[in-house]
Amino acid sequence: MAEELEVIDRAEEWSGFLKKKYKSALNKISREYPSTRSLEIEYDVLEKYGKTGIILADDLLEHPGKTLGDIKDAIRSANLVSGKDIEGCDITEDIIKGINIRFVHLPRKTSIRDIRSEHINKFISVDGIVRRVTEVRPRLVIGAFRCANGHITRKVQDYGTYSEPDMCGNAECTQKKLELVQSLSTFIDSQKLRIQETPEGLRGGEQPQTIDIDCVDDICGVVAPGDRIIINGILRSVQRIQNGQKSTVFDLYIECNSIEISIKEFEEVDISEEDEKVIKELATDPAIYGKIARSIAPTIYGNDDVKEAIALQLFGGIAKEMPDGSGLRGDIHVLLVGDPGIAKSQLLRYVIKLAPRGVYTSGKSASSAGLTAAAVKDDMEGGRWTLEAGALVLADKGIAAVDEMDKMQKEDRSSLHEAMEQQSISVAKAGINATLRTRCSLLGAANPKLGRFDEYVNISEQINMPPSLLSRFDLIFIMKDQPDETRDLNIANHILRAHSAGEEIMRHRKYPIPGADDAYFKEKLKPVSAEIDAVMLRKYLAYAKRTCFPIITKEAENALISYYKKLRSVAYESSDKPVPVTARSLEALVRLGEASARVRLADEITMEDAARVIKIVDTCLRQVAYDPKSGSLDIDKIASSTTKAGRTLRRDLKKAVEALADSDGRTGLDALYQHLEKQNYTKEEIERMIEQMRLSGEILLPKNNTIKLL
Ligand code: ADP
Ligand code: MG
């Protein structure tokens, strides 16, 4: 603080600058006050204002508190504003007091994780994504306190703490008990924000850091969670209070001077002319699909179909805005269901590193906002309502990887429906009404409830997700961990290759291995490295999204429609239930087709694309809906609570137990097996079903090889 006092008064220079560059903006404020009461100054304009400009700009950064005061003095002394209210009374002094000087477009940014104590009381510019916002509420800035004798004492309030005067300010009065008089006090609108580092600014897997922002007056209520913004303001510190005691630790926050909402999208990725050449070259390679798929998580062996699907997801379909204002989503949602230890989590983490805007979270994450958004009462903010963004909001225009989706909270399950299809989420609670955008693609992973995937039980039940939610995924993969000698050996070799190359590299760093150079390691790492490296692939993705908008050809359209019709008819034949293959499945086909064309940077979605996506969708549906009992595609399996074959077995089993029961209601197991095997069920199936029904509490297995219905 003492430092600031040594600074020379610059009011003169400021008034010169304002007169020259901002007179008309100030005149506008004079005319329109209080609806217009902020003067926005471009930092650039200031810095280019000759030698004085450089000095003033420097002053602003180094001594912002003093500088903002100087500017007000300059406005007052040079009569830069003036005004009258409707009754003709002079309100010039009110305008000067009420005017906000805001600086925008600073050239240098400080990243949230680099904020240090040296920045305290300095003017800084940080960018980030809005994580949470509080309600806009009035805050006391100057309290008017009345004593029993009716004298009024005013006291300026510090940020965060309410303080009363020790005694009445009137010289003759000795009253110590004072009361706040609201009508004579001054309030200002206030709002607190919390911003966090943007996903693209993080090196893979890092946890984003946050900082709180204090906004007052007309910049309150202008941002929503999920917005990408730049905050310009003064870094302040407040003493932390723990259990009512002042601590030696100080918390940091930014006293917000101005907010810039950035409209930049993925365009952040820089693509040079050279890059463009490489990308176009790659796009003409007939083997490009495999190349890209293998470049996703190269340390993970196999899973080519999953990787190809993820590649299409990264390229994405085309989001459409219709003239009537409605929209069709282009984002592709993919769900991986499978046994533990099959590299689902690894895949997710890799994709996040690859995607230009990726957010990783777990379904059971501790954040109160969960996956979408929530209005929560914040203890830290004195019980203020705050709106907090969850993963899908933070991943807007990117990709959200949600691991362990089977363990997500109930509220998330219901809000995901809206978030995935409408790509927005509305929150209406307490004073908060907001619609947040979730235009992201979702890559989910789920472990089956009983540890292993059981093909006889439908997935909805196994991963604890309602069919309606499952139907929002364009593709669902079942990844099974089945022992298979060659495959196991290949995985083992692959894993060991990665590890042994890694070991040599670590050894080489400490004790150089003779003859080992870059080329040697490159060769060594070849089997576990990407054919297209992550940096290039990211550029490729951004380039395709930016420039490629393919249109579907008639043949491809017909192919997709006829496949869809076939799916529908299978579903009709094999089921007495409502058909879960809906128009949504057709939309999924179209989106995947668009993505497939984008990979080639093609103008048209051709038969080739249609065939590719039909193959992928078919593989998925077969895994998800294939009924091992009847040997047919049982689309019903996705939607209803049991497979068709499973349903009949359950029913037949119950019937048989009832029919064969003795007077105690017990049935001998041997007789039961015989009875059911006659109905063409295998012993294995029956055993499995009995185990299932026992687990779900439908039957009891008392001693003596008997079974009893509950
Ligand atoms: P999940 O999330 O499916 O339970 P993880 O992603 O945690 O499984 O993977 C467990 C470990 O097994 C990881 O270290 C992973 O690298 C390894 N692993 C599993 N399958 C493969 C594979 N196909 N190729 C290479 N590594 C694998
Ligand atoms: Mg996992």
Task: Please write down the HEC assignment for all residues of 440-488.
Answer: CEEEEEECCCCCCCCCCECHHHHCCCCHHHHCCCCEEEEECCCCCHHHH
Q: How far is the CA of 210 from the centre of ligand 2 (A)?
A: 27
Collect all residues with Cβ–Cβ distance below 8 Å to 532 and sequence separation of at least 6. 282, 291, 292, 295, 540
Q: Is the pTM of this model over 0.85?
A: no
Site of tokens 């009924």: 627
**Confidence band (pLDDT; 50, 70, 90) for 576?**
very low
**Confidence band (pLDDT; 50, 70, 90) for 382?**
low
Q: How far is the CA of 359 from the centre of ligand 2 (A)?
A: 16
Question: In the predicted model, what is the mean pLDDT of residues 620-649?
Answer: 58
**Confidence band (pLDDT; 50, 70, 90) for 368?**
low
Q: What is the pLDDT of residues 26-61, one digit of tens each?
A: 999 999 988 899 999 999 999 999 999 999 999 999
pLDDT at 599: 96
Ligand 1 atom 23, closest CA: 301
Per DSSP, 136 falls in state P
Percent of the chain with pLDDT over 90: 38
pLDDT at 204: 54
Alpha carbons 512 and 164: distance in angstroms, whole number? 70
Instruction: Quote the tokens at residue 77.
Output: 């002394």
Site of tokens 């996506």: 613
Question: In the predicted model, what is the mean pLDDT of residues 584-603?
Answer: 93
Lowest mean pLDDT among 146-150, 299-303, 372-376: 372-376
Site of tokens 């094999």: 574
Atom number, ligand 1, closest to the C-alpha of residue 302:
23
Ligand 1 atom 6, closest CA: 343
Tell whether ligand 1 has an atom less than 6 A from the beta carbon of residue 345.
yes
Tell whether ligand 1 has an atom less than 6 A from the beta carbon of residue 362.
no
pLDDT at 188: 92
**Confidence band (pLDDT; 50, 70, 90) for 25?**
very high
Q: How far is the CA of 387 from the centre of ligand 1 (A)?
A: 36
Collect all residues with Cβ–Cβ distance below 8 Å to 243 and sequence separation of at least 6. none
- b/e sequence 381-416, b meaning 16+ C-beta within 10 Å: beebbbbbbbbbbbbbbbbbbbbbbbebeeebbebb
Tell whether ligand 1 has an atom less than 6 A from the beta carbon of residue 301.
yes
pLDDT at 263: 61
pLDDT at 642: 47
Collect all residues with Cβ–Cβ distance below 8 Å to 482 and sequence separation of at least 6. none
Lowest mean pLDDT among 98-102, 205-209, 314-318, 436-440: 205-209
Nearest CA to 279 out of 571, 601, 572 is that of 601
Percent of the chain with pLDDT over 70: 90
The DSSP H or E segment spanning 435 is strand 432-437
Q: How far out from the chain centre does Cα 458 lie?
A: 29
Taking 70 as the threshold, does the pLDDT of residue 250 lie above it?
Answer: yes
Give the residue range(s) of CATH 1.10.8 domains in the chain.
548-635
pLDDT at 645: 61
Alpha carbons 297 and 301: distance in angstroms, whole number? 8
Considering every ligand atom, which ligand is closest to the CA of 497? 1
548-635 has CATH 1.20.58 classification: no
Q: What is the CATH number of domain 273-481?
A: 3.40.50.300
Per CATH, the homologous superfamily of domain 112-261 is: Nucleic acid-binding proteins (2.40.50.140)
Q: What is the pLDDT of residues 450-489, one digit of tens each?
A: 777 776 677 777 888 888 888 889 999 988 877 778 888 8
**Confidence band (pLDDT; 50, 70, 90) for 687?**
confident
Q: How far is the CA of 155 from the centre of ligand 2 (A)?
A: 57
Residues with CB under 5 A from ligand 2 (ion): 345
**Pairing relation of β-strands 475-479 and 334-338?**
parallel
Atom number, ligand 1, closest to the C-alpha of residue 346:
6
E-strand ranges in 532-627 read 551-552, 604-605
pLDDT at 4: 47
Q: How far is the CA of 530 from the centre of ligand 1 (A)?
A: 17
Q: With contact defined as beta carbons under 8 Å apart, do 648 and 574 qualify?
A: no
644-709 has CATH 1.10.10 classification: yes
Give the residue range(s) of CATH 3.30.1640.10 domains in the chain.
2-104
Instruction: Quote the tokens at residue 439.
Output: 């235009």
Alpha carbons 584 and 590: distance in angstroms, whole number? 10
According to DSSP, the residues that pair with 490 across neighbouring strands are: none
Atom number, ligand 1, closest to the C-alpha of residue 340:
4
Q: With contact defined as beta carbons under 8 Å apart, do 658 and 698 qualify?
A: no
Tell whether ligand 1 has an atom less than 6 A from the beta carbon of residue 343.
yes
Tell whether ligand 1 has an atom less than 6 A from the beta carbon of residue 341.
yes
Tell whether ligand 1 has an atom less than 6 A from the beta carbon of residue 490.
no
Taking 90 as the threshold, does the pLDDT of residue 556 lie above it?
Answer: yes
Instruction: Quote the tokens at residue 699.
Output: 């039957």
Q: How far is the CA of 338 from the centre of ligand 2 (A)?
A: 9
Give the residue range(s) of CATH 2.40.50.140 domains in the chain.
112-261
Atom number, ligand 1, closest to the C-alpha of residue 479:
3
Tell whether ligand 1 has an atom less than 6 A from the beta carbon of residue 397.
no
Considering every ligand atom, which ligand is closest to the CA of 496? 1
Distances (CA, A) of 663 to 667, 694, 698: 10, 21, 19
Report the interhelical angle of 554-573 vs 607-625 (nearest 10°): 20
2-104 has CATH 3.20.20.450 classification: no
Taking 90 as the threshold, does the pLDDT of residue 704 lie above it?
Answer: no
Question: In the predicted model, what is the mean pLDDT of residues 173-194?
Answer: 91
Question: In the predicted model, what is the mean pLDDT of residues 500-512?
Answer: 87
| Residue of higher predicted confidence among 567 and 153 | 153
Tell whether ligand 1 has an atom less than 6 A from the beta carbon of residue 340.
yes
